[in-house]
Chain A
Amino acid sequence: GAVVSQHPSWVICKSGTSVKIECRSLDFQATTMFWYRQFPKKSLMLMATSNEGSKATYEQGVEKDKFLINHASLTLSTLTVTSAHPEDSSFYICSAQRTSGRYNEQFFGPGTRLTVL
């Protein structure tokens, strides 16, 4: 199976600082990756679609200047939460897409828990 990693698995930061989360596809190339946010006991909400070599596509209501996404290679996408505040505390999950025939299969990372003090 395909493996997707995230780093760090958890991070605590002070309000006003920036935090970078990495998402890597370990054994396949992914031209498209996705970033989701999950609040406690809630569903996954798509934040943005990360496209290798081009700008990310953000969902309505997601601040692109606050959640910076960079997809610089076929195996790495990064999400930077800029000037983090306590309301940004959440569980962030990435997925990487692998095209298999006619089907775009997504593989999920283990998630990153962000706590902003």
Chain B
Amino acid sequence: AQTVTQSQPEMSVQEAETVTLSCTYDTSENNYYLFWYKQPPSRQMILVIRQEAYKQQNATENRFSVNFQKAAKSFSLKISDSQLGDTAMYFCAFMKHQGHDMRFGAGTRLTVKP
């Protein structure tokens, strides 16, 4: 079974600064997908970034980038130039290649302070 671990229940960062959220996972699969989702107070799940395990290059989406270390089974999210609107719960998630269901970590509550 796949497990996803987020060891930081809460984090805070000053506006315009950079913050890194940690995620580790456990799987015997060789090919899979990893995700970071944002859940703001509205509770709507928003996809932040996606990484395919067979791609060595780290995914980036504007201010969001990941550090994917396959051997270490680590998948951290870096948010640059943090904005107040980034305040939310962030969930790391795993899905097997050709899989269907998604497994989520416990989440990290990020607060961006003005």
B107 and A34 contacting across the interface, CB-CB below 8 Å = no
Q: Which of A20-28, A42-50, A64-72, A73-81 contacts B (4 or more CB under 8 A)?
A: A42-50
Q: Which residue of B lies closest to A108 (CB)?
A: B45
How many A residues touch B, CB cutoff 8 Å? Answer: 21
A42 and B33 contacting across the interface, CB-CB below 8 Å = no
User: In the complex, A104→B33 CA distance in Å?
Assistant: 10
Tell me how many residue pairs across A and B have CB atoms closer than 8 Å: 45
User: In the complex, A49→B105 CA distance in Å?
Assistant: 19
Q: Which residues of B contact A45 (CB under 8 A)?
A: 104
Q: Which residues of A contact B52 (CB under 8 A)?
A: 103
Q: Residue A32 contacts which of B95, B97, B100, B104 (CB distance < 8 angstroms)?
A: B100
Contacts A110-B42, A110-B43 given: A104-B98 contact, CB under 8 Å?
Answer: yes
| 27 pairs, CB–CB < 8 Å, chain A vs chain B | A34-B100, A34-B102, A38-B43, A42-B106, A42-B107, A43-B91, A43-B104, A43-B105, A43-B107, A44-B91, A46-B101, A46-B102, A46-B103, A91-B43, A93-B45, A95-B45, A97-B100, A102-B97, A104-B98, A104-B99, A104-B100, A106-B95, A108-B44, A108-B45, A110-B42, A110-B43, A110-B44
Question: What 9 A-B pairs are tightest by C-beta distance, nearest first?
Answer: A108-B45, A43-B104, A111-B43, A44-B104, A43-B106, A110-B44, A43-B107, A46-B101, A32-B100
Give chain A's interface residues, CB within 8 Å of chain B: 32, 34, 38, 41-46, 49, 91, 93, 95, 97, 102-104, 106, 108, 110-111
